[in-house]
Structure 1
Amino acid sequence: MPDADVMKFLQTRRSHPARSLFAPWPGRDDLEPLLVAAARSPDHGKLEPWRFVVLQQGAMARLAALVRERGAALGHDQAAQDKAASLYENSGLAVVVVSSPVASAKIPVIEQTYSAGAVSLALLNAALAAGWGANWISGWASHDRGFVEAGFGLSGHEHVAGIIHIGTATAVPPERPRPDMARITSWLRD
């Protein structure tokens, strides 16, 4: 049976800018149902090729300092360092969705990576549906091996699929242009 409310939510959902998210942040009891919803994403072969790293407020200052350290080591200018560090300095809670592929003769790594992306979107939508403000942001630091291994504890075969910042929204998210469906959709009949 169609659920008009769910369809309306999916067709009108908007992410909140991370800089507009403040306390109160979701607690563990608030966050766990969102993680359960996200983990119901498509997962061919039932491999669970992803995991979560919950970044709580106490970890954010350490991560911001590590971003600045890695940014300087990589030669990023001060503006790039400041922008990346601000994602942690100004946030009280984020969930890192880690793509953690599993050896499989049947399920290619690319499909496992897609599953981690689906988990990221499902977590974002679950947070928004639960009434939180949320934003999916990554940035250069999330692709730097030194940062993700020291900051998030990733293994060599793992990558960041997404970082979902969740908090209390203090502003209505801005509208943005949406895709022209006729331009991006092909209908094949034969």
Structure 2
Amino acid sequence: MSNDPQTLASDAALHFLLSRRSRPAKTLIAPAPTREELMPLLTAAARTPDHGKLEPWRFVVIEKAAMPRLAELTQHCGARLGKSQEDIAKARSQFDLGHLAVVVVEVQKESAKIPAIEQSYSAGAVCLSLLNAALAAGWGANWLSGWASHDPEFCQDAFGLQAQERVAGIVHIATQGAKPPERPRPDLSTMTTWVDK
């Protein structure tokens, strides 16, 4: 097999990455992927940079029937934390409106060689890979988190997280509803430094 960049190039993949656009979770409609349809997306997400092959992440799949319970847990969490009704309504809406979501759980593992932050980066890369895999497969998808997902008590009750685990992201996946307009993109000329010597 040749290592020539021209041989390895994928114009379709590059075009996708240059034009990809998340779909707001509130615009996603039924149907969501079946378990069989979801597995290739999880497989793609797991092919992510992972220094030391620690696999410092796992998946929790939230199906439609679980959404009302998570919405209520968000309500209780917000009241416990003293959040406003507006903040609570916004936070629980991802579950009130959700069809299917994948919680990417960061699992910190003891390692003499791999710093904790590299494990966090790997879990973040899984979130982006899952998001892009879903979009590339023709689904609508959005990566969310929110204040409840950073609360240990909520995460334990909602997703069964252990002490060494935390939510890296919640990726909602379903059918694309209304297509959102393009959003402003970064001006690379203001944030790119070239080092030539």
Deviations 1:84-142 (A, max 9, x none): 11110100100000000111101011001000000000000000000000000111111
The residue that corresponds to 2:5 in the other structure is none
The residue that corresponds to 1:17 in the other structure is 24
Aligned equivalents of 1:101 and 1:187: distance in 2?
Answer: 34
Report the TM-score when normalising by structure 1: 0.99
Report the TM-score when normalising by structure 2: 0.95
> 1:174 Cα deviation (Å)?
2.2
Q: Structure 2 stretches of 5 or more lacking a match?
A: 1-7
Aligned equivalents of 1:183 and 1:119: distance in 2?
Answer: 28
> 1:67 Cα deviation (Å)?
0.3
Q: Which amino acid aligns with 1:45?
A: G
The residue that corresponds to 1:113 in the other structure is 120
The residue that corresponds to 1:130 in the other structure is 137
Q: Answer yes or no: is 1:72 the counterpart of 2:74.
A: no
Alignment of 1:40-189 (within 5 A): 40-189=47-196
The residue that corresponds to 1:27 in the other structure is 34
Aligned equivalents of 2:191 and 2:24: distance in 1?
Answer: 26
Q: Secondary structure at the match of 1:168?
A: strand
Aligned equivalents of 1:144 and 1:80: distance in 2?
Answer: 15
Matched residue pairs, number?
A: 190
> Max radius of gyration: which structure?
2
Aligned equivalents of 2:134 and 2:108: distance in 1?
Answer: 25
Deviations 1:43-73 (A, max 9, x none): 0101100000000011100000000001001
Q: Which amino acid aligns with 1:25?
A: A
Q: Which amino acid aligns with 2:110?
A: A
Q: Which amino acid aligns with 1:93?
A: L
Aligned equivalents of 2:180 and 2:105: distance in 1?
Answer: 26
Q: Structure 1 stretches of 5 or more lacking a match?
A: none
Q: Secondary structure at the match of 1:171?
A: coil
Aligned equivalents of 1:132 and 1:173: distance in 2?
Answer: 14
Q: Which amino acid aligns with 2:19?
A: T
Aligned equivalents of 1:135 and 1:60: distance in 2?
Answer: 16
Aligned equivalents of 1:108 and 1:9: distance in 2?
Answer: 32
Aligned equivalents of 1:5 and 1:180: distance in 2?
Answer: 24
Identity over aligned pairs, percent = 59
The residue that corresponds to 2:3 in the other structure is none
Aligned equivalents of 1:8 and 1:92: distance in 2?
Answer: 28
